[in-house]
Structure 1
Amino acid sequence: MNRVLRIVFSRYGMIVIILVLVLGVIALAQTREELPLDGSDAGSSGVDGEATSEAFTEDDGLATEACDGEDCYTDAELPQEALNRASAFAEAWLNPYGYGPDGWHDSIAPFLTSDTADLMEGVDPSTVPAEERTGEPTASGSKVAIPMDTGTLTLTMHEGANDWTSNGWLVSAIDWEQL
């Protein structure tokens, strides 16, 4: 036992322990899943770590689903209820009450499909690139565009259920177009 302790606490043993810890941290950092709108891009932060609009100019790839089958709606077919839900989501998305990440997620989750809610978990609400809505929502197929002060929020609407809504219109994808 003394021999093992002597090896572990020798300079070579300490080097091995430190090396294992560093490699473990690197492995954990590489497996972290990047989320849209999470502000994790080092080049996208301004002074004091605030998110800048540069982080939102690239396509996040969330609103790329094909529209086939009965889940698709023409402009005339998307009901007012879907527009109302999209509008309510946009208001919660702007975080008017200044919630932190958990509270903000709890406020937007009832409007999202379960998969989209999972993707938005852990997103920092300070990365939302707008402060106020500037117009009324307009439908185009299954998508609803909502004008904001710095761009357009585009939501893909899907009829379904989640943990909070038994059956209704939910946001299945979120896309942002910078002005």
Structure 2
Amino acid sequence: MNRALRIIFSRYGIVVIILVLVLGAIALASDNGRTPLTGNDVETDDSTESSEPSDEITDDDGFYTEDCEADDCYAAEELPQEAVDRAVEFAEAWLNPNGLDPDAWYDSIAPFLTTDRAELMVGVDPATLPAQSIDGDATTEASKVSIPMNTGTLILTMAEGSNSWTGGDWLVSAIDWEAS
């Protein structure tokens, strides 16, 4: 018994065990018409489906885009003025004009953010912000609001929704920065 266990747990025994398991998996998979390495169907004589590629051309470019059919989707339209106003209010709070500490600053901007974005902003130090003032009027393009700052442009993606602080309202779902 001891000798048998030594042979089984030697490197040769382990190689044999792995080989048996792999061959068994291949045998089981080929019984179901698939091989684990390719995942392709095994062709049989009575198969009516062709394995040749379809001649149908699709417009899919490989990038995922959300289908937008709801009333609150503004991909092709400009954002309403209330969304732009909300973005500017966020930008003013984001600049931290009152010199708040990180926790108080977070509390001042959180009502403007989606829940996911608010979670990402926890622990951010407002002293590291790249701008000090708004230097122009906000412009919109689809769901984005661009706000010119003294050192670049703050780009906010707006979405209609609610969070723990506010009911249904326009919220910032993404924050981007373009330095000038």
Same fold (TM over 0.5): yes
Residue number in structure 1 paired with 2:118: 117
Between structure 1 and structure 2, the one with the greater Rg is 2
Partner residue, 1:132: 133
Aligned to 2:105: 104
The alignment of Structure 1 onto Structure 2 pairs a total of residues equal to 115
- Superposed CA deviations along residues 99-154 of structure 1, whole A, max 9, x for unmatched, are 11101100000000011000000000011100000011111000000000000000
Give the structure 2 partner of residue 172 of structure 1.
Answer: 173
Contact 1:157-1:172 within 8 A present in 2 as well: yes
Structure-to-structure mapping, 1:51-70, within 5 angstroms = 66=65, 68-69=67-68, 70=70
SS at match of 2:163: coil
The answer to which structure, 1 or 2, has the higher relative contact order (CA under 8 A, 6+ apart) is 1
Q: CA deviation at 1:81?
A: 0.4
Spell out structure 1 runs of 4+ moving beyond 2 A.
Answer: 65-68, 74-77
Quote the offset at 1:68 in angstroms.
3.9
Whether 2:81 is the aligned partner of 1:83: answer no
Q: Normalising by the residue count of structure 2, what TM-score does the alignment of the two structures yield?
A: 0.60
RMSD: 1.6
Q: Which has the higher helix share?
A: 1
Unpaired runs of at least 5, structure 1: 1-64
Instruction: State the one-letter code of the partner of 2:143.
Output: S
How far is 1:74 from its partner?
4.3
Residue in structure 2 matched with residue 144 of structure 1 by the alignment:
145
Q: Does 1:160 align with 2:155?
A: no
Share of identical aligned residues, percent? 63
